[in-house]
Structure 1
Amino acid sequence: MDITPAIAARTGRRDVLAAGIRAARQRTLGLLDTYVAKLGEELRVPYSAQLNPPLWEVGHVAWFYDVWLARSRQRRLGLACDPDHERLPGRLAGADALYNSSLVKHTIRWSLPLPDLAATRAYLAGSLAETLQLLAGETETPESLYFYRLSLFHEDMHAEAATYMAQALDIPLPAPLRPVERALPAATDIALPATPWRLGYDQPGFAFDNELLPHDVKLDAFAIDSVAVSWRRFLPAVEAGAVNIPRYLRRKNGTWLALRYGSWEPLNLDAAALHLSWDEAQAWCAWAGRRLPTEAEWECAALSSPPGAPGFAWGDAWEWTASRFAPFAGFVAHPYRDYSRFGFEEHRYVLKGASRATDPRMAHPRYRNFFTVERNDIHTGFRSCAL
């Protein structure tokens, strides 16, 4: 089995995690610098239900490391940690009342008396230094390293969120912070026979709680796109009136343009179609006489394409599926209890794969992303199956 960055992050030793944490923080700070260059040190942006205040976002990243590691009396217990145990005092007084996303609702975050930029940078630096110091002294057990992995993945998620927030706020992103689109090869159908499929994570190492309790799913024979749907395939449905013009697109003098981080650019027709809602993906499928794959079909195709068939390429978009986000039978929440819970309670669908803004550490074929159907601010796309 190839050791991908995602497998390494889920199973690697302390040195792998330390390198990952340093790299994640470098990306976070680079994004923060870019935001400051555009918005100024107060980092004020208009309220949006799809955004977090940028200053809150980075402070929350530092808080997450502290609450699960530096301040935790049970950080070495892994899944046996009681999330409600009394924490040690923190480096920032009152941090829980500011950054605990389970208690501080989204609308409240916009009016909090947050530390200023300099204090937030100091909070990030202190949290990073203590995290790395603690990690250097940990034993090499899954339990002892669990919260380091969780905190690293959490920072990666927020860095990707900062990337699509920059798109929404017209903030220019320089290389290498800006995702680089690629031209997709022509799509072909990959045909897979009827088969039982083991859905869910069943390998050693870290897993998110909603991935666990793998179980067999009976799949009928199906044929699925080898790549995500490109703009070249998607736009004829728009031109036919079957789908509305997607977010961040416009047509000028017969040419399609895309708004990318504050600049209108010629659309790369062979790139994956992005910033699409679940409804837009469904509308295209209805127009094309296709359908969205189920979560199990996507996973099966990604992990077991038959020898000699065109490769199943992924990593260009978070891909909508036809599967509602729901717990597998017997689900038990991990100590970060709200990670999956709110998703189960809302009307969300599973997205598979990864986008060009996703750190490779997060790009695991068993990973279950989940969003509400109207979200088109994220790097979301899709692929289709034959009817």
Structure 2
Amino acid sequence: MTSPHPTGSGTPAPGDPDPEALRERALDALLTARARTALLTSCVEDPELTAQHSPLMSPLVWDLAHIGNQEEQWLLRTVGGREAIRPEIDGLYDAFEHPRAERPSLPLLPPAEARRYVHEVRGRALDVLEGTAFHGDRLTEAGFAFGMVAQHEQQHDETMLITHQLRKGAAALTAADPAPAPPFTGPSEVLVPGGPFTMGTSTEPWALDNERPAHRRTVAAFHIDTTPVTNGAYRAFVEDGGYDDPRWWAPEGWDHIRRHGITAPLFWRREGGQWLRRRFGVTEPVPADEPVLHVSWYEADAYARWAGRRLPTEAEWEKAARHDPASGRSRRYPWGDADPGPEHANLGQRHLRPAPAGSYPAGESPLGVRQLMGDVWEWTASDFAPYPGFTAFPYKEYSEVFFGPEYKVLRGGSFAVDQVACRGTFRNWDYPVRRQIFSGFRTARDAEAV
């Protein structure tokens, strides 16, 4: 099976007033997400859909029906005022009611029934889309509810892709590799000047509540890596005994790696003097020039300490990604306000791996920082917290219940993220022990440091 290429036109540009253009964008986002869902759930046999491939993940068939149930609840019942199709399954697919580890024991819809259900929901949702006016209600303004549902589906598609990476057996997904890139010979780091900038957004139509509102934030001058940390650089940390030296580790991280016997990134193993990794059912040498993948926050933090550096804060990351010193404004994306194209970033499951470090010069920020979008989610030093003036919308369980020091923020998106769920203000978060996610990092240092 081949991976889908993103065909959507992305989120609506701020201030897009044309209701038919908004309707077309919403339709395109929904169809692009559904094509990807179909691929991820059709490339394996039904027993693979109902199995739990890791206690960290749901069975694929749970994700499938959950996607449909959320679409039914928000687009059919809430926006469309339609009668419920399957109200009796709401509890089965409530992510807060049932932890992932126990979902295989639930009376889930079998694959064929789940497919029929999501198909029926989608048909009715498209009728709702056709008749919705994009004004007068915050949920439908600029098509927000439809964008929210498309983003939700794409986020679960990324989750299902993680499950495919965790499953044993032969490869079920294939995709072209990113274009080869010459070794990156640019500067290893970029100076980001100190001062204020605009963080977050109040105008991006499909931005989620935790991205809002826009506010002024001031950061001191700092240096940040031009590209994400590579496998080759991280391998030097491993081979220098980084996993055996408590000096580099936060106490909780040191306890975690010792307790679980962690000695390298997830899916790496050493064999015959060579580092190998397993990637979607294929074992291959670890490519030195790719951004390192499948590392926890603790691992990223330890590497940064070993290198005499640190992880950037979330505010520093966003300033490096969005701030344009020439105009003083914050862009939607590092390269400008235009939706991502294949020349800008590795997004949308177009490839099943990060591109070599230094790729996508057309996607660099005004200061010359590369690959801030796509390739790997990037851990930051920051806890997940609300912005000043935050208001939960349309429900507290999307963001508010996760605020706190238990979660660290990741930014930028990975190769598994669709453009509808990736922008300069988009915020992701996870526990600092998580490694199955498509996570990497880049490092920073204070400008005053020698």
| Range class of TM-score, shorter chain | 0.7 to 0.9
SS at match of 2:368: coil
AA aligned opposite 2:393: H
Encode CA deviations 1:156-175: one digit per residue, 9 max, x unaligned: 00001111111111362423
Quick one: which amino acid aligns to residue 131 of structure 2? G
> How many angstroms apart in 2 are the aligned matches of 1:111 and 1:88?
31
Asked if 1:57 corresponds to 2:63, the answer is: yes
* AA matched with 1:185: F
User: Take 1:212 and 1:175, find their aligned partners in 2: how far apart are those partners?
Assistant: 37
Give the 3-state SS of the residue equivalent to 1:322 in structure 2. strand
> Which of the residues 39, 44, 64 maps onto 1:35?
44
Partner of residue 45 from structure 1, selected from 42, 52, 58:
52
Q: Could you say what secondary structure the match of 1:291 adopts?
A: coil
Pairing 1:367–2:426 present: yes
Residue 153 of structure 1 corresponds to which residue in structure 2?
A: 151
Q: 1:379 to 1:19 in 2, by over 3 A?
A: same
Shift of 1:9: 7.7
State the match for 2:174 in structure 1.
175
**Is 1:310 aligned to 2:372, yes or no?**
no
Q: Where do 5+ consecutive residues of structure 1 fail to align?
A: 77-86
Q: Please give the secondary structure, in 2, of the residue aligned with 1:197.
A: strand
CA-to-aligned-CA distance 1:231-268 (integer Å, 9 cap, x gap): 11111000001133111011222222110112211211
Confirm whether residue 281 of structure 1 aligns to residue 300 of structure 2.
yes
CA drift at 1:340: 0.7
Residues 114-123 or 92-101, more deviating: 92-101
TM norm structure 1: 0.88
d(CA) in 2 for partners of 1:236 and 1:386? 20
> Bigger CA drift: 305-314 or 19-28?
305-314
Alignment of 1:82-101 (within 5 A): 89-101=83-95
Q: Distance in 1 between matches of 2:401 and 2:150?
A: 21
Which one of the candidate residues 321, 330, 342 is aligned to 2:380?
A: 321
Letter in 1 for 2:407: R
Q: Which has the higher helix share?
A: 1
Letter in 1 for 2:419: P
Q: Give TM-score scaled by structure 2 length.
A: 0.76
Whether the 8 Å CA contact 2:52–2:104 is kept in 1: the answer is no
How far the C-alpha of 1:93 sits from its partner, in A, is: 4.8
- Alpha-carbon distance change, 179 to 134 in structure 1, aligned in 2, over 3 angstroms: farther
* Uncovered stretches (5+) of structure 2, i.e. residues with no partner: 1-7, 244-262, 327-365
Contact 1:6 1:364 in 2 (8 A): no
Deviations for 1:291-341, whole angstroms, at most 9, x for unmatched residues? Answer: 100111111111136577434322211000011101122322112320113
Q: Sequence identity of aligned pairs in percent?
A: 32
Instruction: State how far apart, in whole Å, the 1-side matches of 2:82 and 2:417 are.
Output: 33
Distance 1:345 1:313, change over 3 A: closer
* 3-state SS of 2:417 partner: coil
Query: What CA distance in whole angstroms lies between the structure 1 residues aligned with 2:54 and 2:270?
Result: 28
The equivalences for 1:262-301 within 5 A come to: 262-301=281-320
Partner of 2:238: 238
* Separation in 1, partners of 2:296, 2:179: 19
Is the Cα contact below 8 Å between 1:275 and 1:377 reproduced in 2? yes
CA apart distance, 1:355 = 0.4
Work out which of the residue numbers 241, 244, 248 in structure 1 matches 2:267: 248
Q: Distance in 2 between matches of 1:25 and 1:202?
A: 28
For 1:98, what is the secondary structure of its paired residue? Answer: coil
Report the CA distance between 1:100 and its aligned residue: 2.2
Supply the RMSD in Å over aligned alpha carbons: 2.4
Q: Distance in 1 between matches of 2:401 and 2:179?
A: 31
Q: How many angstroms apart in 1 are the aligned matches of 2:53 and 2:384? A: 30
**Do residues 189 (structure 1) and 189 (structure 2) align?**
yes
Is the Cα–Cα contact under 8 Å of residues 211 and 425 in structure 2 kept in the other structure? Answer: yes
Preserved CA contact (<8 Å) 1:258 1:267: yes
